[in-house]
């Protein structure tokens, strides 16, 4: 029983260490091998895209974006209704 528990903890530690090595050492090496990925990162930096917002890790930014989209849609629908009322 104790041996199985130790094996599971060692497996978890190994997976954690493997993920750390992959994301901190292997991934940057892969990015340096592919110019398209470098360009993608450069463009994100140029235009100030918070890519974390795309994956819900930056919830405040995601909520702000949703609020702005809802407001834009509301204003667009009001403008459409005004045009239809004028017969345009």
pLDDT, tens digit (0-9, with 9 covering 90-100), for 15-69 = 999 999 999 999 888 878 888 888 888 888 888 876 665 666 566 777 788 889 9
**Interatomic CA distance for residues 87 and 4, integer angstroms:** 76
Q: What is the pLDDT of residue 13?
A: 97
Q: Is the pTM of this model over 0.85?
A: no
Residue 8's pLDDT band (cuts 50, 70, 90): very high
Q: What is the pLDDT of residue 59?
A: 67
Q: What is the pLDDT of residue 77?
A: 94
Closest Cα partner for 66 from 54, 76, 78, 77?
A: 54
């Amino acid at each position: 029983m104790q041996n199985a528990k130790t094996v599971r903890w060692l497996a978890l530690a190994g997976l954690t260490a493997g993920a750390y090595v992959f994301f901190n050492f292997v991934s940057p090496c892969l990015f340096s091998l592919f110019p398209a990925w470098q360009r993608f990162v450069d463009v994100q930096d140029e235009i100030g895209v918070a890519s974390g917002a795309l994956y819900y890790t930056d919830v405040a930014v995601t909520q702000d974006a949703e609020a702005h989209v809802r407001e834009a849609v509301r204003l667009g629908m009001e403008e459409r209704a005004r045009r239809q009322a004028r017969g345009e």
